[in-house]
Amino acid sequence: MAADLGYIAILLSLVLAFYAIFCFILYLKTKNYRLFDSAKGSVYATAFLTTVATLCLEWLLYLGDFSIKYVYQYTSTDLPWFYRLTALWAGNDGSLLLWAWLLALYASLVVKQNKIKEMTPIVMIILMINSLFFLFIMAFLTNPFEKMTMFAVEGRGLNPMLQSPGMIIHPVTTYLGYVGFAIPFAFAIAALVINRSDDEWIKVTRGWTIIAWMFLSIGNLYGALWAYEELGWGGYWAWDPVENASFMPWLTGSAFLHSVMVQERKNMLKIWNIVLIIITYVLTLFGTYLVRSGILQSVHAFGSSSLGKFFLAFTVVVLICSLGIMFSRIKLLKGDKEFESFISKESSFLLNNLILVGMTFATFWGTIFPLISEAVTGNKITVSIPFFNTVNAPLGLVMVLLMGICPLIAWRKSSTKNLLANFTVPFLASLIFASIAYILGLRKIYVLMGFTLTVFAIAATLWDVVKGILIRRKITGESIFIATFRLLVRNRRRYGGYVIHLGILMMILGIIGSQGYDIARQVTMEVGETITIKDYIITYEDLKQKRSGTNMIIFAQLNVTNNGQSLGEMTPHKIFYKTQKQPSTEVAIYSTWIEDLYIILAGWEMDGTANFKILVNPLVKWIWTGGYILIIGTIFALWPGRGSLIGGKYTRRVLGHLNSRGVEQNYAG
């Protein structure tokens, strides 16, 4: 019943998406507003119907109705209810439905806001074509509500590796990010279609872009955290094609976020911005293709399915059409101003863009080179972690340096005096840091360099805030507290960006630390035995078992002290599930700001002798904490109200007003 309802909802929304496109096109021709209203209604209806379909599938998953193939494949009766619900995105069909649903919700929000009246119909046509693609796939190729041909009492169950908090957050946030980039993409194309080269589409979609970018950041980060805690997924980042697939749009999305600022302020880089948003959106589609086609070997991929060619075809069509539209309007976009100076914010933004796009290209190259090689020479090869690290690490370091320099140099042209005032303190701070670190024994040159550059960038960012506070105090005579508060809150866009930078720099510290100085050891211990690793003294007290629901848990009791201080008990364990063939190894992690003690129970003998793999991973906590700071920064920057829209200086605000009015007049006339 619910299955039929769900499938009918998909079919109906497919029809209505068609209808909406048709009406929007007619509206553009006739300017009859009733057509617009009707189309708008059908956009809402697709949102409603895809919601119904999603709820139907969730309901079936919740009930555990194994007469539905999808439910049978991904759940079982002993699975807790919230994991049954997460099975919506455990498989191919369900995650397509999630995608279509999110896109439909986003689309109805866009049409409701109707921010740029002349663009909305075209934006909607573009979004609905995308919806149509996903709905079509579900309606005719892989129906999430497909029924089983035979009767089953029990489902195959959700893989234990997916039974983790990561499953609740990572896929949804990644999809929210992926789908979110459709909105700025649609606006960019719409602006071109109606021959507008101003930056209104950028202003209107700024919130969408930043939120999509934030979700993609969270998605990537939670994926990393999940892989870190899950044995056999190669640590927090393994440059797997599927990981790369969501890293690439993140990189180009980051580049886009920065380069649009140059267009807003200086009316430059118009073509570049269009190209960036097209690439970003196409990369999200390409990522979906990689994940679903089975064309590359990956641990995280869906099985090879015939869907791949449809995704590839759609990706190529989107790419060709959007580039085609761009080239047909190229005259409109030309006529950029020239760069006035090499040492200016514009040029450092351009450089940061080059680096980000360079990293994207390198990652793309490494990801698809196996395909090229096979197609061209017939040699089947594979590109592994060292490639990505050797290419992206130096680029990343230049990026870090730019993150220090960029915010501090002025628009147009920076004077020597300006440079000295901004950089003396951060430069000295990083020099002092480097000397201390060297004296304390940090001798690996790349690690030392990486840390020093990151400290420089952090110091430069903080120093800029301090200077701002001091100047504000001097002018207004406010107390430090009030001056700080007002400075930050009234320039939320700028300082939100700074907070995001600090979050990313923290992550980079964590990445450098954990790559540069990790320790790994294999030990076999009898009950009662004690070993020492670094300053940790670990005593293996006992091997026990307990029941948890229908599952059996075998766990090792370890007593751990660090420098004589007790850290309590750590219990790495294995869970044996009733419906799964394999157990699930759950690592025990004791995390501090300095390092993580990471213990895996590898196996045991009948007499209780057990083998452990023990790792000490420095600074990993900084990576996750940096992620939270990034979220805080994003929310801070986007918080609506005074101070969120412009760079803070009153003159800029006035200029901004004048500009936007000028724009309106232009288009009225």
Partner 1 sequence: MSKRLRLIAAILLFTGAMGYLIFNGMRQGVGQLLTIEEALAKNIKENVTFIRMEGTVDYTTAFYDPLKPQLVFDLTDGSNKIPVIFEDVKPDNFDAGYPIIVEGRFLEDGRFRADKLLVKCPSKYEEESK
Under the rule (CB under 8 A), what is the footprint of partner 1?
Answer: 73-74, 90-92, 158-162, 231-232, 234, 297-303, 305, 338-339, 342, 354, 358, 361-362, 365-366, 369-370, 379-391, 394-395, 522, 524, 574, 580-585, 600, 602-605, 609-611, 613
Which position has the token pair 């009234």?
A: 490
Closest CB to partner 1 among residues 557, 611? 611
d(CA 576, CA 464): 54
Q: Is the torsion defined by CA of 606, 609, 613, 618 positive or negative?
A: positive
**Residue 295, number of CB atoms within 10 A of its CB:** 18
Closest CB to partner 1 among residues 5, 299? 299
CB of 347 to partner 1, least distance (A): 8
d(CA 635, CA 644): 10
Joined together, the tokens standing for residue 284 give 């999200």
CB of 293 to partner 1, least distance (A): 13
DSSP secondary structure letter of residue 26: H
Nearest residue to 256 via CA among 201, 311, 219: 201
CB of 390 to partner 1, least distance (A): 4
CB of 104 to partner 1, least distance (A): 24
d(CA 271, CA 535): 56
Burial of 520 (0-12, 13-18, 19+ CB in 10 A): exposed
CB of 621 to partner 1, least distance (A): 23
Closest CB to partner 1 among residues 519, 602? 602
Nearest residue to 457 via CA among 387, 407, 410: 407
d(CA 108, CA 128): 10
CB of 304 to partner 1, least distance (A): 8
Closest CB to partner 1 among residues 539, 609? 609
CB of 394 to partner 1, least distance (A): 6
User: Hey, is 531 helix, strand or coil?
Assistant: strand
Closest CB to partner 1 among residues 467, 613? 613
Closest CB to partner 1 among residues 296, 499? 296
CB of 370 to partner 1, least distance (A): 7
**How many residues comprise the chain?**
669
Cα 463–Cα 515–Cα 394 angle in degrees, nearest 5: 65
Nearest residue to 625 via CA among 509, 465, 460: 509
Closest CB to partner 1 among residues 228, 281? 228
Closest CB to partner 1 among residues 36, 612? 612
Closest CB to partner 1 among residues 337, 657? 337
Closest CB to partner 1 among residues 380, 547? 380
DSSP secondary structure letter of residue 549: T
d(CA 506, CA 504): 5
Closest CB to partner 1 among residues 535, 605? 605
Joined together, the tokens standing for residue 648 give 């803070």
Phi, psi of 142 (to 5 degrees): -140, 90
Nearest residue to 336 via CA among 350, 353, 321: 350
d(CA 441, CA 600): 29
**Residue 575, number of CB atoms within 10 A of its CB:** 17
CB of 367 to partner 1, least distance (A): 12
